[in-house]
Structure 1
Amino acid sequence: MRLSRRAMLSGAASTIATTAFAEAPLTSLRPIARTPAKDAIARLVANKGFSGDFGVVVADLQTGEVLEDLDSSKPQPPASVTKAFTALYAVEALGAGHVFETRIFAEGRIENGILDGNLILAGGGDPNLVTDQIAELARRLKETGLREVRGDFLVWDNALVNQDEIDETQFDHLGYNPTITGLNLNFNRVHFEWKREGTNYVTTMDARSANYRPEVTMAQIRVVDRTLPVFTYRDLGNTDQWTVAGSALNNAGSRWLPVRHPALYAGEVFAIFARSHGIVLKVPKETPVAPSGTPLASFESASLRDVMRGMLRFSTNLTAEAAGMAATAARAGVPRGLRTSALGMSRWANARAGGILPSFVDHSGLGDQSRVSPSDIVQLLRAPDVMQVLRPIMRDIDLVGEDRQVINDPAVSVKAKTGTLNFVSSLSGYLRTKNGRDLAFAFFASDLDAREAGKRSGAESPPGARGWNRRARQLQQDILRHLAFRLT
């Protein structure tokens, strides 16, 4: 029985066309002379108004000239900027057109629509599989003529090495810190909803997506009379058992909780839709044996390029981890665990960008033990053929004026990836300036002492974190405006 220390401590409850130009020689960004103090960006950073470190590096993509450099060689947690590395790593290993396939296999003989054997739901590592697609997979199974299964219903999730959580130092109830397996559903989250009726609460746990919201039994929750902790979690083998403090709930509301048995979760949801088509399945059981029977039906994901575009836009941690681990499995020939896979991505980045020294502990940036310097990431952004892959799939970042209103100027664009943890804020990508210059940039901020103190407080959002992160983002915007409109 698993009772997490973190759960008991929890107290309170992420295509622009590029102008063709000759690539500049890829030279190292280290060492670089510090920007003179009179420079406008240096003055902005000197008056940043928040604690900790702030590193800046900006390079001209055509000439290779380093235009700005302030403490750019100091490694800091990259947070979700890591996902830019992951997107390139996955696309280069798997191919932009790669798809993840979720399949149904029959293990045994089928006669007159009756399977005298086991039915297997097999995951192919799809990180973006949702309930609506499970429903479609069940419909495709029905179209094969199958109407009865006499054996067991098995689920297989070993296309990727299972990882209980991305970052074990974070609270168990955080939906963005999910389990990773080869069979994932709804980003491995279950929707918890509550409503007060008299002195009691009515609760539901469902696997909702756009069109369906089937209730599930493998994730359960009880409202208990206490103040703290807000959530506790126990692993009951095949069931996730949560409790929530009644004092933390208002009259009605909802939130997502992580699922720690994703294959059983997907299996239960599939069985619900199969039953709606007249195919009654037994309670799903996990199997470690890769399916070798007859394939009956399948569902393919969008292309990897589109999956990575969505990941960079919405910053989904599960997508990053599954894609990164799939890339490592393709390179190594066998699945690897998360930490080993992240080490493989670090080594790839070092070779890909000419000697940079990133140290990743995951593919999403959720773990704050990863370290990358601003100069490292700009070195990667400048490497041959990287911009052509990353820039079209990176998110458009609005430029905001001093009045906090969005600046609309068609001559200027920012395509980048943000990263945010408590007391960590990062931004890196590509900027096209008003006068048409193409730049690669990275801005990293962190106060690791404050972050550690925040962890010790047991608060999901520790005192001072929101204000610190807001001021860091404001400084990033100030620098972007200067580069976009005042750089000559």
Structure 2
Amino acid sequence: MGAGMVVAGLLVGGWAWSDESARSDAATPATSSAANSPSATTAALSARRVPKFLVAPQADRRLNNAIAPKLAALSDTSCFEVRDGERVIVSHGTDQALAVASNQKLLTAWVALEVLGADHTFTTRFATTAPIDGGVINGDLWIIGGGDPLLESDTYRSTFKWGKGAHTSIEAIADELAALGITAITGSVVGDDSFFDAERTVSTWPSRMLAQGQVGPLSALSVNDARTYSPIPGAGGGAQPASDPAAWAADAFTQLLSARGIAVGGAPASGQAPETTNTVLEIASRPVWQLLAQMLTFSDNNTAELLVKAIGREVSGEGSTAAGLVAMVDRLGGLGTDMSQISLLDGSGLDDGSRVTCDLILATLNGDDSDPDPSQGVLAAGLPTANGEVGTLRDRFHNSPGAGRVFAKTGTLRSVTALSGWAQAREERISFATVINTVGREVTGADTNAEDALAAALIDYPDSIDPALVGPSVPRP
């Protein structure tokens, strides 16, 4: 048998593993009879049907060569990695741990899926110390928070920059309470946020984070991200961080109940509910998979930080940031990546002292087992779409091949920009992670453009293969 025919026989077997059309061809045995002319052999070995293991080396080299100038222009404190499943296609600067800004939410999301589960919900409970008597609550109406990060009013949601995602409507809750026939509360509406600890921020955050509205005070009973947006249209009240989030939640519901004709005798307050209460109403949050989509699409810092506390409570019984971060590091270590340089100071990425590698980011993306194909899993589905209708990528990738084909988490601090997720390449989605630390200067548009260009370069992967390098030689007579 000629050398060319040996190659042909091997390739026919290879195609049997690559796609359905190849399986039908592979069912016909390859023979060395004279009927197998050189022209017939060449036609069967169309470059379009070359199996992946032959295409990949050439395609990888071409991609690396094409983006080499882009990578050379990045700062030394940057990393870029691309994977096709577990196979690394591009690796640049992946031995260093960097500040990743909101890309850290990918880690928080992955651990939340592992610890809490995609369908887990957080319950907000409304309770009294005595049964409702003729529509009257004799005493206080307690609101016992369970960690729902998205208790929001329509007035608050109208201020959102990137569009609106999942939430728990506090107006709808007030409607349900009114539908129970409640006409009066002789006491107060009282908020209880003891489900989590009383630490309202992360100690290492700059004070401007709270003042600028980057994150609200953290609380297990958080209405409008614990910022004082009145739920009553036109009522004003500003948007200051609530000094007592549980009392503010009670205030918001007092306003809503009063607007529905329910008389409330006392001023809103906070405290810890008695051990024995009568449940009037229970409200479940959106399931975790929807909370993650909202967090990733809109880069919601509050949701990220409250999920960290929820992780801590679930694992150790302590609803604190510290307990949650310990649990996160422990779970992330199970992904098999080098954790020696990893340092997590919060769950949102607001703290620029955290350190994460591109390798760990990709491990979380590819480690999402909510779907057999991680690129179709909960994390991937929750990412914003390049040049999409909502989310933090809405205003990027204009007139770019990446528009509608890049799905990625953004990350921005003064000296950090990051973009990690999935690119819809020619045949399948491939994962990528980009982190740029601009030490000594602030991030500019040139830096985010560089990120976008790297992601867009993945769309044509794998590019066309040179048939001469893999095609059969002409059989010798």
Q: Same fold (TM over 0.5)?
A: yes
| Residue-by-residue CA offset, 1:173-210 (whole Å, 9 max, x unaligned) | 111122110100112223xxxxxxxxxxxxxxx425xx
1:180, 1:189 → 2: CA distance? 10
Q: How many residues align?
A: 377
**Gap runs ≥5 in structure 1:** 1-18, 22-34, 191-205, 220-255, 451-464
Mark the CA change 1:123 to 1:413 in structure 2 (over 3 Å): closer, same or farther. same
1:95 equivalent in structure 2: 117
| Residue-by-residue CA offset, 1:188-242 (whole Å, 9 max, x unaligned) | 223xxxxxxxxxxxxxxx425xx735445xx7xxxxxxxxxxxxxxxxxxxxxxx
> Is the 2:143–2:192 contact (alpha carbons within 8 Å) kept by the matching residues of 1?
yes
2:434 equivalent in structure 1: 443
Instruction: Tell me the C-alpha RMSD between the 2 structures.
Output: 3.0
State the AA in 2 paired with 1:173.
Answer: A
Mark the CA change 1:486 to 1:87 in structure 2 (over 3 Å): closer, same or farther. closer
> Is the 1:179–1:259 contact (alpha carbons within 8 Å) kept by the matching residues of 2?
yes
1:353, distance to aligned residue in structure 2 (A): 4.3
| Residue-by-residue CA offset, 1:326-351 (whole Å, 9 max, x unaligned) | 1221222x233213312321221111
1:82, 1:409 → 2: CA distance? 23
2:212 equivalent in structure 1: 174
1:313 equivalent in structure 2: 297
Instruction: Give the percent of matched residue pairs that are identical in Structure 1 and Structure 2.
Output: 24
1:207 equivalent in structure 2: 230
State the AA in 2 paired with 1:445.
Answer: I
Q: Does 1:375 align with 2:359?
A: yes
Alignment of 1:142-181 (within 5 A): 142-166=178-202, 167-171=204-208, 172-181=210-219
1:283, 1:144 → 2: CA distance? 22
1:101, 1:404 → 2: CA distance? 39
1:138, 1:405 → 2: CA distance? 42
1:406 equivalent in structure 2: 399
**Gap runs ≥5 in structure 2:** 1-17, 21-60, 155-168, 464-477
Give the structure with the larger helix fraction.
Answer: 2
> Is the 1:378–1:441 contact (alpha carbons within 8 Å) kept by the matching residues of 2?
yes
1:409, distance to aligned residue in structure 2 (A): 7.5
2:398, 2:255 → 1: CA distance? 48
Alignment of 1:390-401 (within 5 A): 390-398=379-387
2:273, 2:256 → 1: CA distance? 24
Alignment of 1:100-139 (within 5 A): 100-132=122-154, 133-139=169-175
> Is the 1:59–1:439 contact (alpha carbons within 8 Å) kept by the matching residues of 2?
yes
Mark the CA change 1:120 to 1:272 in structure 2 (over 3 Å): closer, same or farther. same
2:42 equivalent in structure 1: none
2:80 pairs, out of 38, 56, 63, with 56
1:122, 1:156 → 2: CA distance? 5
2:384, 2:89 → 1: CA distance? 24
> Is the 2:106–2:364 contact (alpha carbons within 8 Å) kept by the matching residues of 1?
no
Mark the CA change 1:143 to 1:380 in structure 2 (over 3 Å): closer, same or farther. closer
2:99 pairs, out of 53, 67, 77, with 77
Q: Does 1:270 align with 2:253?
A: yes
State the AA in 2 paired with 1:41.
Answer: I
Mark the CA change 1:213 to 1:134 in structure 2 (over 3 Å): closer, same or farther. farther
1:324, 1:161 → 2: CA distance? 12
1:353, 1:187 → 2: CA distance? 35
Q: SS at 1:395's partner residue? A: coil
Mark the CA change 1:112 to 1:91 in structure 2 (over 3 Å): closer, same or farther. same
| Residue-by-residue CA offset, 1:124-171 (whole Å, 9 max, x unaligned) | 111111125333323322222333333443210111223322453241
* Higher deviation after alignment, 121-130 or 288-297: 288-297
| Residue-by-residue CA offset, 1:99-140 (whole Å, 9 max, x unaligned) | 222221011344323333332111111111112533332332
State the AA in 1 paired with 2:170.
Answer: I
> Is the 1:79–1:364 contact (alpha carbons within 8 Å) kept by the matching residues of 2?
yes
> Is the 2:131–2:278 contact (alpha carbons within 8 Å) kept by the matching residues of 1?
no
Say which one has the larger Rg: 2
1:419, distance to aligned residue in structure 2 (A): 0.5
Alignment of 1:218-229 (within 5 A): none
* Higher deviation after alignment, 350-359 or 477-486: 350-359
Mark the CA change 1:130 to 1:409 in structure 2 (over 3 Å): closer, same or farther. closer
> Is the 2:106–2:361 contact (alpha carbons within 8 Å) kept by the matching residues of 1?
no
1:456 equivalent in structure 2: none
2:109, 2:246 → 1: CA distance? 25
1:291, 1:375 → 2: CA distance? 47
1:285, 1:404 → 2: CA distance? 48
1:297, distance to aligned residue in structure 2 (A): 2.0
1:371, distance to aligned residue in structure 2 (A): 0.7
2:68 equivalent in structure 1: 42
1:37, 1:148 → 2: CA distance? 69
2:448, 2:402 → 1: CA distance? 20
> Is the 2:82–2:91 contact (alpha carbons within 8 Å) kept by the matching residues of 1?
yes
2:453 equivalent in structure 1: 478
Q: SS at 2:334's partner residue? A: helix
> Is the 2:250–2:270 contact (alpha carbons within 8 Å) kept by the matching residues of 1?
no
* Higher deviation after alignment, 384-393 or 414-423: 384-393
2:420 equivalent in structure 1: 428
1:121, 1:424 → 2: CA distance? 40
State the AA in 1 paired with 2:218.
Answer: I
2:309, 2:263 → 1: CA distance? 34
Q: SS at 1:396's partner residue? A: coil
> Is the 1:157–1:182 contact (alpha carbons within 8 Å) kept by the matching residues of 2?
yes
